[in-house]
Structure 1
Amino acid sequence: MKAIVMSEFGDPGVLVPTDVDLADPRPGWVTVEIRAAALNWHDVLVRRGRYASPLPHTPGADGAGVRTDTGEEVLILPSLFWGDRTDAPGAGFQILGDSTPGTYAQYVNVPEECLAPKPAGYSWEQAAALPLVGVTSFRALVTRAGLRAGESLLIIGAGGGVSTMALSLAGGIGAHTHVTGSSEEKLAGARAAGAAGGVLHTRDSWPEEVKELSPGGKGFDVVLDPVGLWDHSLRALRPGGRLVVLGANVAEHVTLDVRKYFFGQFSLLGTTMGGPEDFRGLMNLIAAGDVAPPPIAATYPLSDAAEAHRRLESGGEYGKIVLVP
């Protein structure tokens, strides 16, 4: 089969189309013929060597396709070996494409528990773009933050995969959502997708500016921060509000005013990609019919994975980039 193989870590040029043999699936696993594979920033970190993947290696966490044993159209949950607890993954947890060969290929082997029916009305590209950002957003907003209909939500970083999916899920839940963004174009894209409004987070005063847009100007019930600005994000919360953090691509370290934190009665909630139970909750919410599919920014042939990564790293897209074998 054709697959993208990296024999070393580095820039996008290490992603090379190669003919490889597909291993037989292990017990409890099935083979899926990939129809589309979506890119995530996680794939860039794998390519750079952050997760010490075995070499040579095929990356890729997200995908959708057809089960070769039953012919069913499915999408793939990239959360492997979650474990028995729902509050946090077990010690053996990994993401598809970390150590296990991923979805940048014509075929992939995955655990049967990591498959769900392709949502009705979704294209292959939209289905492939859903699992990682979908289950991550669902776990952050629903499982961890307990977001409810009628509550106010602020999403940091409009245009990113998780941020865009979270906006869609929040609409399905019935929350009132504002965003921050790095450009007017990304704010406009978020408003077109259902956000009530937003501000640029390029000024240090943005938490106070966006807080003025919250109900009564008192702050938001929930703030979702997938980029690492949560020392600023706390300033946009109402007293007793919840901050959910799940990324650090902008900043990996923050300094907090401890007194303001505990006097504010804030809840700080760390989260990651979810497991099978979160996946079921996500699919149930989508089945209710109120969640828009992920927007697709661009589609590339599988053989152009390197160019797709360059476009992802440019950071200018609103929506997901997808590979098609």
Structure 2
Amino acid sequence: MQALVLDGVNQPLQLREVPTPTPGPGEVLIRLHAAALNHRDVWIQKGQYAGLKFPCILGSDGAGTVAEVGEGIDEKLRDQAVLVNPGMQWGDNPAAQAKDFQILGLPHDGTFAEYVCVPARYVHPLPDHLSFTQAAALPLGGVTAYRALLTRAHLQAGERVLVSGVGGGVALLALQMAVASGAEVWVTSSSADKIEQAKSLGAKGGINYQDENWPATLIKQANGGFDVIIDSAAGPGFNNLIDAASPGGRIVFYGATQGDIPEVPARKIFWKQLSILGSTMGTEQDFAGLLQFVSDKKLEPVIDKTFPLAEGEAALRHMDDGAQFGKIALQIIPD
């Protein structure tokens, strides 16, 4: 099969002929129609991720059809249209992942290829209203947004939500899910164009997070603070989110692209009765809940740009530039 292979840190992806995997007991072989990128893939390429091994095939998100089934798997799965839950071996505790939790694409070969082998328990029927490319854009970002917003923050209809750094896949899916849940959603970005695009998806408005004292300005625009804040940056700007939160608010962060929080204003947190919540990926129950939510609300992930498999390295560089609005996909078989 054709696959994009990463041979080492800071090496470009190479399209190469590699052996097609064979499904073992309890596994299925998926013929991939589409895959999607995540920042995780860029960080692995740059050597900024734990457990590196080379050569490897990146890619956590993918959708396609079941080509072969391993021992113990119902033959009826063959030829079914499916997408993959990339979060594997969560463990028995729904509150936090186990030590052996893994994400598809490292250490096991991922979806930047014509075929991928995964345990059958992690494949799900394609939502009827989604194309293969749309479905491929959903799994990792979708389950991350779903868990942060609904499992961790327990979002309720009518609450006011702030999604920071809108434009990336998780942030946009969180925006779409919050709007579909009946929340009033606002966003931050350094791009006025991205704020306008977010408004076309249902956001009430937004503000440039580079503006001085933006929390006070945004609170005035929104006629109040925010019950739920979804963030992926952390870093020095996190304290602005504490200022933007309403008393009793919940701040959920699923990443730290701006690094650790240098100083935490403890008095503000306890006096405002805030909940600061970390979140990573999601359980199998979160993933099933995500698919049900997406099917019920007919949500469609935003696709920024689609590249052919052979241009996977260009797709990674496009993601690394940070200008995208939505998911970046790899087209392996045309929809």
TM-score range, shorter chain: over 0.9
- The question of whether the paired residues in 1 share the 8 Å contact of 2:155 and 2:228 is answered with yes
Give the letter for the 2:106 counterpart: D
- The question of whether the paired residues in 1 share the 8 Å contact of 2:164 and 2:171 is answered with yes
Give the letter for the 2:153 counterpart: A
User: How do 1:186-265 residues align onto structure 2 when only pairs under 5 Å count?
Assistant: 186-214=194-222, 216-217=223-224, 219-228=225-234, 229-265=237-273
Q: From 81, 92, 113, give the equivalent of 1:105.
A: 113
Give the letter for the 2:214 counterpart: W
Supply the distance in 2 between the matched residues of 1:225 and 1:105 (Cα, whole angstroms).
31
Post-superposition offset of 1:176: 1.0
Give the letter for the 2:277 counterpart: L
Deviation per CA, 1:151-209: give whole Å up to 9, x if none.
11000011111110001111221111010111101101100111011111012311222
Q: From 282, 305, 309, give the equivalent of 2:312.
A: 305
1:322 is aligned to 2:329: yes
User: Structure 2: 5+ residue runs without aligned partners?
Assistant: 69-77
Match of 2:43 in 1: 45
User: How many pairs are equivalent?
Assistant: 320
Secondary structure of the structure 1 residue equivalent to 2:65: strand
Give the letter for the 1:306 counterpart: E
Supply the distance in 2 between the matched residues of 1:88 and 1:23 (Cα, whole angstroms).
31
Supply the distance in 2 between the matched residues of 1:254 and 1:173 (Cα, whole angstroms).
34
Q: Between the two proteins, what is the percent identity of the paired residues?
A: 40
With the length of structure 2 as denominator, give the TM-score of the two structures.
0.93
Secondary structure of the structure 2 residue equivalent to 1:103: coil
Supply the distance in 2 between the matched residues of 1:27 and 1:86 (Cα, whole angstroms).
26
Match of 1:6 in 2: 6
Supply the distance in 2 between the matched residues of 1:178 and 1:68 (Cα, whole angstroms).
43
Post-superposition offset of 1:150: 1.1
Post-superposition offset of 1:51: 2.6
Secondary structure of the structure 2 residue equivalent to 1:17: strand
- The question of whether the paired residues in 2 share the 8 Å contact of 1:59 and 1:102 is answered with yes
- The question of whether the paired residues in 2 share the 8 Å contact of 1:136 and 1:273 is answered with yes
Give the letter for the 1:24 counterpart: T
Match of 2:18 in 1: 20
- The question of whether the paired residues in 2 share the 8 Å contact of 1:45 and 1:51 is answered with no
Stretches (4+) displaced over 4 A: none
- The question of whether the paired residues in 1 share the 8 Å contact of 2:21 and 2:115 is answered with no
Post-superposition offset of 1:137: 0.3
Deviation per CA, 1:292-319: give whole Å up to 9, x if none.
2111111111111111111111111111
Secondary structure of the structure 1 residue equivalent to 2:311: helix
- The question of whether the paired residues in 1 share the 8 Å contact of 2:21 and 2:29 is answered with no
Deviation per CA, 1:237-284: give whole Å up to 9, x if none.
011110001111133333111111111110000001112110011111
Supply the distance in 1 between the matched residues of 2:212 and 2:120 (Cα, whole angstroms).
47
User: Structure 1: 5+ residue runs without aligned partners?
Assistant: none
Match of 2:75 in 1: none
Supply the distance in 1 between the matched residues of 2:254 and 2:164 (Cα, whole angstroms).
11
Supply the distance in 2 between the matched residues of 1:114 and 1:230 (Cα, whole angstroms).
35
Match of 1:294 in 2: 301
Q: From 81, 85, 89, give the equivalent of 1:81.
A: 89
Supply the distance in 2 between the matched residues of 1:47 and 1:136 (Cα, whole angstroms).
21
Secondary structure of the structure 2 residue equivalent to 1:14: coil
Post-superposition offset of 1:222: 0.5
1:94 is aligned to 2:67: no
Match of 2:58 in 1: 59
Post-superposition offset of 1:324: 1.5
User: How do 1:57-206 residues align onto structure 2 when only pairs under 5 Å count?
Assistant: 57-69=56-68, 70-206=78-214
Supply the distance in 2 between the matched residues of 1:205 and 1:41 (Cα, whole angstroms).
29
Supply the distance in 2 between the matched residues of 1:204 and 1:59 (Cα, whole angstroms).
39
Give the letter for the 2:61 counterpart: D
Supply the distance in 1 between the matched residues of 2:66 and 2:86 (Cα, whole angstroms).
16
Supply the distance in 1 between the matched residues of 2:114 and 2:16 (Cα, whole angstroms).
11
Post-superposition offset of 1:24: 2.0
Post-superposition offset of 1:54: 1.6
Give the letter for the 2:326 counterpart: G
Give the letter for the 1:310 counterpart: R
Change (3 A) 1:263 1:291: farther
Q: Which moved more, 1:58-67 or 1:250-259?
A: 250-259
Post-superposition offset of 1:144: 0.4
Give the letter for the 1:66 counterpart: T
